[in-house]
């Protein structure tokens, strides 16, 4: 049986003071004598008393909880993003509720409804294609929201220049002598997929080459290692010329591609170069360290939370290609 939670009234009775005095100790300790404050604090400790934050917020009419919806909390990218959010919220004594949409619009809609019912201070979300249509309902309830890792002319957002990220990755592979590059992309309705492809095309055009000759795009329904492996199998089993390099939508997809290369006995990077995206913690620790486009994940989360709390805008973050052994080989 769960023990009953101690109340302010219980503390007052044990300390031999009024309920108002206990309230003053909690909210205005400078208005209470030290002797009385110590007696009340001792009673709190003896009863294991903790103030009821939910009730306090209900009375004040302001929540100190922020809802966060990411695509997949199991992906280390979103773990780092959430840590940045948590760091910023903690500065203002806020907490977060973390949810995974699994890139499912209906699941995302369900979480948005539940968070609205919880009366959260605001919502931070890495959006699916139809997210912004539902955020209007939150706005009408007085709940602000911020899109993360996104660019929007219609909604408050904090983003990364993924066009630059795609351009950097493909420019590097072109400089290494690759002329047949496979882009293991995400779903076409993801803004990041489209922006990175735009950057890749710009890099090919800047080199005076035809993107249709250089780039092959395989859109993966899910950004997992298994899907990355399947996408590479599809490309390598095609009767046409095989790619000599892979640009993966994220580092986890890149892991799947590298797995298939090992299965086939192909050398990385001599037989095929691999470049990922995000620069997750494991990228530098692999047997063949993975080149990756680094995103400022924690800073992005921090900025999104800060924008929600303060409405101070932040500049678009710039990614940076980190070259490691998986692509550091120039083809003859």
Task: Tell me the DSSP string of 53-78.
Answer: HHHHHHHHT---EEEEEES-TTSHHH
How confident is the model at residue 161, as a pLDDT? Answer: 96
Q: How far apart are CA 102 and CA 72, in angstroms?
A: 5
Mean pLDDT of 116-141: 81
Residue 52 region, left (φ>0) first, then alpha (ψ -120 to 50), else beta? beta
Closest CA to 198 of 151, 268, 252: 151
Q: Tokens 């170069």 belong to which residue? A: 273
How many H-runs (helices) and E-runs (strands) does the chain carry? Answer: 13, 11
Q: How far apart are CA 312 and CA 331, in angstroms?
A: 47
What is the chain's mean pLDDT, rounded? 90
pLDDT band at 64 (very low <50, low <70, confident <90, very high): confident
Q: What percent of the chain has pLDDT over 70?
A: 93
Q: What is the pLDDT of residues 268-323, one digit of tens each?
A: 999 999 999 999 999 999 999 999 999 999 999 999 999 999 988 888 999 999 99
Q: In what order do the strands lie in the sheet with 273-278?
A: 215-219, 181-185, 245-248, 273-278, 291-294, 320-322
Structure tokens at 8: 């302010």
Q: What is the pLDDT of residues 170-229, one digit of tens each?
A: 999 999 999 999 999 999 988 999 999 999 999 999 999 999 999 999 999 999 999 999
How confident is the model at residue 2, as a pLDDT? Answer: 43
Query: Looking at the predicted structure, is the pLDDT value of residue 6 above 80?
Result: no
How confident is the model at residue 137, as a pLDDT? Answer: 75
Q: How far apart are CA 262 and CA 37, in angstroms?
A: 67
Q: How far apart are CA 247 and CA 265, in angstroms?
A: 19
The answer, yes or no, to whether the previous bond of 243 is cis (omega within 30 of 0) is: no
How confident is the model at residue 1, as a pLDDT? Answer: 39
**Which domains does the chain carry?**
8-51 (no CATH), 63-158 (3.40.50.2300), 162-295+318-322 (3.40.50.2300)
What CA–CA distances, in Å, run from 141 to 123, 152, 155?
A: 12, 21, 16
Q: What is the pLDDT of residues 264-273, one digit of tens each?
A: 999 999 999 9
**CB-count burial class (<10 Å; 0-12, 13-18, 19+) for 94:** buried
pLDDT band at 56 (very low <50, low <70, confident <90, very high): low
Coil, strand or helix at 216: strand
Query: Looking at the predicted structure, is the pLDDT value of residue 57 above 60?
Result: no
Q: Tokens 């950004």 belong to which residue? A: 223
DSSP type of residue 29: G
Q: What is the pLDDT of residues 227-244, one digit of tens each?
A: 999 999 999 999 889 999
How confident is the model at residue 4, as a pLDDT? Answer: 65
How confident is the model at residue 141, as a pLDDT? Answer: 78
How confident is the model at residue 60, as a pLDDT? Answer: 45
> In degrees rounded to 5, what are phi and psi of residue 315?
-70, 160
């Amino acid at each position: 049986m769960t023990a009953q939670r101690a109340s302010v009234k219980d503390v007052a009775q044990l300390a031999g003071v009024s309920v108002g005095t206990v309230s003053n100790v909690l909210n205005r300790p400078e208005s209470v004598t030290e002797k009385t404050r110590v007696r009340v604090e001792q009673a709190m400790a003896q009863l294991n008393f903790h103030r009821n934050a939910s009730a306090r917020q209900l009375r004040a009419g302001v929540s100190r909880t922020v809802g966060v919806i990411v695509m997949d909390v199991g992906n280390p990218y979103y773990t780092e993003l959430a840590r940045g959010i948590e760091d910023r919220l903690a500065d203002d004594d806020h907490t977060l509720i973390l949810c995974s949409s699994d890139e499912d619009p209906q699941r995302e809609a369900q979480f948005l409804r539940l968070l609205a019912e919880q009366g959260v201070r605001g919502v931070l979300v890495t959006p699916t294609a139809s997210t912004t249509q539902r955020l209007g309902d939150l706005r009408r309830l007085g709940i602000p929201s911020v899109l993360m890792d996104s660019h929007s002319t219609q909604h408050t957002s904090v983003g990364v220049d993924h066009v630059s990220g795609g351009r950097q990755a493909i420019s590097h592979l072109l400089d290494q002598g690759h002329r047949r590059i496979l882009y293991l992309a995400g779903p076409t309705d993801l803004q990041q997929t489209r922006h990175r492809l735009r950057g890749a095309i710009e890099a090919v055009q800047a080199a005076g080459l035809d993107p249709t000759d250089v780039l092959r795009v395989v859109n993966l329904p899910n950004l997992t290692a298994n899907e990355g492996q399947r996408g590479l199998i599809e490309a390598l089993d095609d009767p046409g010329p095989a790619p000599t390099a892979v640009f993966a939508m994220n580092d986890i997809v890149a892991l799947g591609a590298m797995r298939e290369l090992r299965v086939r006995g192909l050398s990385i990077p001599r037989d095929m170069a691999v470049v990922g995206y995000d620069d997750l913690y494991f990228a530098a620790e692999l047997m063949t360290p993975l080149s990756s486009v680094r995103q400022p994940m924690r800073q992005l989360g921090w900025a999104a939370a800060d924008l929600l709390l303060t409405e101070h805008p932040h500049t678009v973050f710039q990614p940076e290609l980190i070259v490691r052994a998986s692509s550091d080989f120039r083809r003859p």
